[in-house]
Structure formats: C-alpha cells, structure tokens
Amino acid sequence: MVNVHEPGPFEGRLEWPILATLGSLEVRLAETDAEVEAAQHLRYRVFYEEMSAIPSPAMRAAERDFDKFDEYCDHLLVVDRAALDDDGQPMAIGCYRLMRDVDAARAGGFYTSGEYDIQPMLASLPRGSRFLELGRSCILKEYRARPGCVQLLWRGLMVYVARFSIDLMFGCASLAGTDPDALALPLSYLHHFHPLPKGHAVRARPELYQPMNRMAKSAINPKEALRALPPLLKGYVRAGAFIGDGAVIDRQFATTDVFIYFPLATIDPRYKSRFGATV
C-alpha cells in the first residue's frame, strides 16, 4: 500500500519533498543540484544506454541527459532507500520532469512547443487556468516490473498536481522507432479513438507533421492496438487523455512522438481511486 505524506499549506514550490512511500521506495521532489543530476543520470541510462537516443558529446562525457529547460523544472524522483548510488545516496530509479506555466514563462516557453503548435490551445483555456507540462519520464529497466513503481510515480504526480491546483497536463509521449508506417496500428488507434475534443486543436508543426491516420478505423482491433502502446502512453489514454493531430519523428531519441492533452477533470474515476487522487 502506498503511504501518502500530506504537507501543510505553502507558497511557491513544495516545501516538503517526500510525497509518498512504498516499502523501500519513496517519491520526492529533487531539492539539490545533486538530486537533479541523479535524474539526468537516470535519463541517460534509460534513453541513451538502454534505448537508441544519440547523446551530444557533452552529454556523453557527463553521462547525463540535459537541456536548457532542466533548470526551470521540478524533477520528480522515485528513489530506492535499499540501493545506494556511487555517492552513497538512495538510488534514483524513476523520474518525471514537470514544468508549470509560471516556470515556462521564465524559460521562454515549453519544450513541447518545439514539436507542436500549442499557442491556440493555451489561448483557449479559461482565464486563470493552471497547466503542467510532463516530460522525460522513465523507470530503470530492472524496476519496471516491480509492483508499485509506476503507481508510486503517478501517485507523486497526482499529489503535485493537487498541491498546485493544476487544471491541465500536456506534453509529448513517445513510441519507439522512427518509421510511422511500422507504427500504423498504434498511431491510427490514437487518431481514431482518442482525438482531442473540438475547440482544443493542437497540431504538429507543419515542417514536422506526420499523418497518424494510416489505417481505417474499421480495420483496427482496439485491444490489439492498446497492447502495441508503450506502458506510459497506454496509462495516459486509459486514464482519460486525448491525442493531438499529427506525429513527430524525434531523430535524437529515435522515437515517434504524439501530443498528450490531459484535463484533470476527465481523469477516469478508477484512476482517481487507484492513485488516491484528490484532484
């Protein structure tokens, strides 16, 4: 059972970093440069060493995945207190990168804007809406099948969302591979079965746009298509997320990306119960 920590009232960033625990695992917000670097090392291990992403020379030398947005984001970490890293600290085994609207204003925009035209979406939101960009999510390979790891990461995210009264989550989610034709089933399924509601159109940037409608809806077996989705993307759509128009090939990460639009009001009640969400 996941134990949830309830911090008291606060201003600005969370002042109580530990959000939930499960056995030797805990989900927390990075507070120090060393903890941010632990998230970046984890991302490097998963994206560049395990998968097929191509690091820059600076990334390869540091064995960290980093970009200009990291310093403006909150970094959600799952650590294992029973396993220590090379510095003798609890090992980071899962992470999310979180950027709120107030942080994007300081950073000069959202990471997602490099792939999708999100300005019409942001302009259409009710005045005072609070939104959160999700990115760089990963879990160390040997922990992915361990019961509770994904649940703990999501639980930490839901606590964060509740504390900041977030109305909308969005970002890019990835499918492995850079050949859209080889991904025809999952892309077409997302296009036909989980499109954005009318009035909230988000489209891939014209120079990057890859059509997702590669199979007729009648030719798609939804159960088979769901099995073809990576776990994180499958979790998003099952929980109530919608998908934008057009895919984008990310050569650096050797992935095909889709846009995730996730209003908190549409979260499936089963997921609210599962993660103890108060949103």
Domain ranges of the chain: 1-95+138-165, 110-129+167-279
**Average pLDDT in the 55-67 region?**
96
pLDDT of residue 271: 66
**Amino acid identity, residue 93?**
I
pLDDT band at 269 (very low <50, low <70, confident <90, very high): confident
What's the DSSP call for residue 48?
I
**Average pLDDT in the 251-270 region?**
89
Cβ-contact 20, 159 below 8 angstroms: yes
**Average pLDDT in the 219-227 region?**
96
pLDDT of residue 197: 86
More confident residue, 192 or 5: 192
More confident residue, 238 or 270: 238
pLDDT band at 112 (very low <50, low <70, confident <90, very high): very high
pLDDT of residue 278: 45
What's the DSSP call for residue 51?
S
Report whether pLDDT(74) > 70.
Answer: yes
H helix or E strand, kind and range, residue 220: none
Q: Which of 230, 253, 264, 266 is closest to 115 using CA atoms?
A: 253
Share of the chain above pLDDT 70, in %: 91
Using a cut of 0.85, tell me whether the model's pTM lies above it: yes
